[in-house]
Amino acid sequence: MIHKTTSIRNLIQPSALSSLISKLGASSYATQAASSLQQACEPPSAYSNDEYADIDWNGLGFSVMPTDYMYIMKCPSDGYFQQGQLCRYGNIELSPSAGVLNYGQGLFEGTKVYRKKDGGLYLFRPDQNAIRMQIGAERMCMPSPSIEHFINAVKQTALANRRWIPPPGKGSLYVRPLLIGTGPVLGLAPSPEYTFLVYASPVGNYFKEGTAALNLYVEGEFHRASRGGAGGVKSITNYAPVLKAIHRAKDRGFSDVLYLDSLNKKNIEEVSSCNIFIVKGNILSTPATNGTILEGVTRKSMMEIAKDLGYQVEERTIPVDELIDADEVFCTGTAVGVAAVGSITYNGKRTEYEISPDLVCKKLYSRLVGIQSGAVEDNRGWVVEID
């Protein structure tokens, strides 16, 4: 099956693109690289019959655990994604001048596969991840898989790694789709070749605190994103720059960093890898996405669930000073799930929040888990079964 996708031809004329590739000598290398990858990527003849991998399911954290297979699909300079296939999990070969290595032309997504008590497998709103990748690809001048191709690749990866999906209640299989410029470039330009790759790893809690409340530090020196940048898409370039701030905060005993807007330095935006909400009375507020904040799938789901439960939901500018009077603060994200915040430190002042079973975030998360597990009716079609 061949899929025509949105191409960088919309931004660069075919003649100019061909000339560029020719000048860089990329065509020959791209053909060799594709051939090398094809030879190394032999489809599996059979999957393991083991129900579960032999690991300690009670000791899962959030780190890479190599599984059995990954999925790879190539898109050469003609703008067509070729037929993808499953390969044994392992290293991939890249040119030293690959666009992703030299200019950071890459995106990633994150979704999870869960196992039900009856053994069935399911995904949660994978179409939203596919759409977000398409939006990010347009921003980064990249072609992107269709929603159908994206979901199919995730499903294939999940089924091929079925024995790595934790038992119910023990965690999930975190699936990481990547879209990267693998073709060689020297001058600053879009890559002449792209690779869509999906791998997976079983995971437990994202934070070392487990389910304990988070202690956040408001960062006043470093910023995660700026207006006009790529903070609103899941570009790989958004994450390495925050490592210094995270490292510094964790050295001081904090769980993570809450960033302020880079323009006024007084409005909260998001945490390093998740969105943030504040609760005051019956009102849930979260920073409005304005190009610097990632539109999280869990964020969107929490907002819809909150409305169902009778809460008023606001997307707006939130001054950091409002944290002092908030009844509750919590974070959301695919990797993080829903995590209550126990304290936030800003300018040397620590604001603490009461943690109890009656927290709004716990009610919302309970409804979310209920929908995912089938205990609560899924009237929006969020849960996608894997055949």
Strand partners, 268: 260
Query: Can you tell me the distance from the alpha carbon of 181 to that of 20, in angstroms, rounded to the nearest whole number?
Result: 15
Query: How many Å apart are CA 97 and CA 236, to the nearest integer?
Result: 17
The percent of residues above 90 in pLDDT, for the chain, comes to 79
Asked whether 134 and 6 are in contact (CB, 8 A), the reply is: yes
Do 177 and 295 lie in one domain? The reply is no
pLDDT greater than 50 at residue 4: no
Exposed e or buried b per residue across 342-367, where buried means at least 16 C-beta atoms within 10 angstroms of its C-beta: bbbbbeeeebebeeeeebbbbebbeb
What pLDDT, in 10s, does the model give residues 276-310? 999 999 999 999 998 999 999 999 999 999 999 99
Q: Is the domain of 314 the same as that of 175?
A: no
Two structure tokens written together for 342: 């126990």
What would the pLDDT profile of 149-199 be if each residue is shown by its tens digit? Answer: 999 999 999 999 999 999 998 999 999 999 999 999 999 999 999 999 999
- Residue 234 among the catalytic residues: yes
Prediction pTM value? 0.88
Asked whether the predicted pLDDT for residue 34 surpasses 70, the reply is no
Domain boundary pick from 184, 203, 222 = 203
Q: What pLDDT score was predicted for residue 151?
A: 98
Q: What is the 3-state secondary structure (H, E, C) of 196-249?
A: EEEEEEEECCCCCCCCCCEEEEEECCCCCCCCCCCCCCCEHHHCHHHHHHHHHH
Does 184 lie in the same domain as 240? no
At 95-147, the pLDDT tens digits run: 999 999 999 999 999 999 999 888 899 999 999 999 999 999 999 999 999 99
Last residue of a domain, one of 135, 168, 203: 203
Per DSSP, helices labelled H in the chain are 14-24, 26-40, 99-103, 126-139, 147-160, 243-251, 297-308, 360-373
Choosing from 74, 112, 155, 234, the catalytic residue is 234
CATH number at residue 234: 3.20.10.10
Place of tokens 């499953």: 86
- Residue 215: CB atoms within 10 Å: 19
Is the domain of 183 the same as that of 247? no
Distance between CA atoms of 275 and 229, rounded to whole angstroms?
18
